[in-house]
Structure 1
């Protein structure tokens, strides 16, 4: 959860983006706004990005008010709605049903977090504070659940034989969805109730910044953020539906592989929490930074897979989950390096540079398979 001062009022942009989004959508559905030109799609893309950031901000405000464990549930649900909304919009727009869009998005989210985001946090924090300490118990819990889910969702389908291609049959897919949801619920219980101290800020974290997290928003701000959260989430889904054809055109025009769509979706979904994670690292709160980063990846895979499974079951849309051998190698490498760099409990700039190096290779392989 981002460490903004929840006692203050909502920033202007968190109100303007939802309001302008409603105006644009109303004008579009009423036939007032000319659609199909570049100016229209540029406005849609700009508002889509703004609505994503506004959604996460308002979810954090509501989460801060209700407290744990419900706060984490609300925040994870909001991020999942954004991700699933973008995935479903693109799947519906794809002529073949986009069977790999969910897989590419989840894989990209995990890789962006484990390599790019964690690498940036370690470099920025290490550059300013030299060495930063983590609580090994909490970090290892994240990595254990994330590694398990990534393996059964993205690697194992390549080796099952009940269904052709990198896919599960319906029984296997249902089992993976249930296990993903069960593991996330168990993790959430451990994080917020049973072993909450494992995930708290380390003893030498910045005391002022830690105390800032406990500021509780007022009732008026909570209710306004709740309303704006619903408006923002609805706007994200509808704007994604409008923008999906243009995104496909962009991918084709840039001569990028279809898999790169997942990188774009994951990057957009992870952007708000990524900024919060980097800010936390700069403020010498490395445990909060890692919680935000790994929590985003965990929610992305643990909640998206079950929801997409239900969607494909009712819509009879094909779903492929297994990644290519090259991506499997990168995923295993990212998990292996994350264990080596995070579990000792002390991080430096060098470790961050290693993560960023893998991130560069991930982007290159995504753009040029």
Structure 2
């Protein structure tokens, strides 16, 4: 029975990415009726789950912290592609889309994913244990990137409104790339042990402690199918985005809700993978995924949007509202207090989830 279930999982995770690309070829650039939108949404969800499976196969082969980096970069590619594509099609009304999506990704990752993982690990294992040195470095990088890219534009005076001037935007983009590159070098080369899962005694868990890694052939197949799944997710999400935007407008919701929906979609693979790691008492892996995706969301998206702004018409608004800056400051303070001890309880997880709920409330009712 178990063998049959594994065979079924193997089949659908191989078929869905191909189906997503085929469906994308037939629906690209067309107005989709309701029934087709429902079908596309179903395949889109399947492609996201398949992407999670294949990313985990690759991650198991390369080990931590490289595995977390694979998924973080993969979902950020989806986010960048969606933002730039929608900004090209959206005109002036999409001037805040990059800001809304990036900030949503930060709040989802630092509060939603982190909070849920701490709750899952605490309920299952008593306390959540992780390495404060690696997690603290990741949190400091996220806080710096968010401040430079999303807070400073509100206070600069070289351009009208919460926008950067051309020189300031270039500085923010280059700084984001440098900080992200430095973090990746720290995580994967110089201080790799800071980002490995730890035992209850604080000892790093290496690859030898895991089950046998997949073969090179299986890994390459999964890497190719991961690429197909990501292409399918980006293309199909673009196809249903007009329906999402019209639905948000018809419901009388703030335009920022579109950014929240995009961020929730692209971070779904990270969320599933992080929760699975938390259930296995690999909370450090969960935090690598959460903070790594928040960091990649800013560090890669802002430079990409800055480059795209050369040919995009209309302003590029990056500065946050005062209420959002307050939530960001609260997130940084609470996250710092969570990280310092190197272990967390159900209470810390609940605090992060409540902050995330407050963000969602303000997104719907600003």
TM-score normalised by length of structure 1: 0.89
- Are 1:130 and 2:108 matched, yes or no? no
SS of the equivalent of 2:285 reads helix
Following superposition, the deviation at residue 293 of structure 1 comes to: 1.4
CA contact (8 A) 2:197 2:205 kept: no
2:161 is matched with which residue?
165
CA separation in 2, counterparts of 1:94 and 1:55? 28
SS of residue in 1 equivalent to 2:267: helix
CA distance in 1, matches of 2:347, 2:207: 26
The Cα of 1:29 is off from its aligned counterpart by 5.5
Residue 223 of structure 1: CA displacement?
2.8
Do structure 1's residue 276 and structure 2's residue 273 form an aligned pair?
Answer: yes
1:55: Cα distance to partner? 3.2
Aligned residue in 1 for 2:349: 352
Aligned position for 2:309: 312
2:3 maps to none
- Match of 1:164, SS state, is coil
Change over 3 Å in CA distance of 1:133–1:42 after alignment to 2? same
- Three-state SS of the structure 1 residue aligned to 2:94 is coil
Q: 1:208 to 1:337 in 2, by over 3 A?
A: closer
Partners of 2:145 and 2:41 in 1: CA distance: 31
Instruction: Report the number of matched residues.
Output: 360
Deviation at 1:13, TM superposition (A): 3.0
Distance 2:143 2:27 in 1: 43
**How much does 1:25 deviate?**
2.6
Residue 304 of structure 1 deviates from its aligned partner by 1.1
In 2: Cα distance, 1:76 partner to 1:282 partner: 19
Deviations 1:25-64 (A, max 9, x none): 3333698xxx531111111222223223333443443454
Q: How does 1:135-150 map to 2 (within 5 A)?
A: 135-150=131-146
Aligned alpha-carbon RMSD (Å): 2.7
C-alpha separation in 2, matches of 1:210 and 1:351: 29
Q: Give distance in 2, aligned partners of 1:93 and 1:146.
A: 30
SS at match of 2:309: helix
Distance in 2 of aligned mates of 1:47 and 1:226: 19
Matched, 1:220 2:217: yes
The equivalent of 2:32 in structure 1 is 36
TM-score by length of 2: 0.90
Q: 1:252 to 1:200 in 2, by over 3 A?
A: same
1:229-287 Cα shifts (integer Å, max 9, x gaps) = 33222222321222121111111122210001111111111111111212222222221
8 Å CA contact retained: 1:85, 1:240: no
In structure 2, runs of 5+ residues without a counterpart are: 1-5
User: What's the secondary structure of 1:315's corresponding residue?
Assistant: coil
Q: Which structure 1 residue ranges, 5 or more long, are not aligned? A: 1-6
Q: Deviations over 1:287-331 (max 9, x none)?
A: 122112111111111111111111122334531111100111111
Give the aligned partner of residue 25 of structure 1.
24
1:189 aligns with 2:185: yes
Does structure 1 conserve the Cα–Cα contact (< 8 Å) formed by 2:129 and 2:198? yes
Q: Secondary structure of 2:162's partner?
A: coil
Deviation at 1:66, TM superposition (A): 5.2
Structure 1 residue aligned with 2:242: 245
Kept in 2, the 8 Å contact 1:82–1:269? The answer is yes
Question: What is the rounded CA distance, in whole Å, between the counterparts of 1:303 and 1:281 in structure 2?
Answer: 26
Distance (Å, rounded) in 1 between the aligned partners of 2:146 and 2:39: 35
Give distance in 2, aligned partners of 1:70 and 1:207: 15
Instruction: State the Cα distance separating 1:163 from its structure 2 match.
Output: 0.8
* 1:153–1:176 CA contact under 8 A, matched in 2: yes
CA distance 1:223–1:197, change in 2 (3 Å): closer
Structure 1 CA distance for aligned equivalents of residues 240 and 344 of structure 2: 40
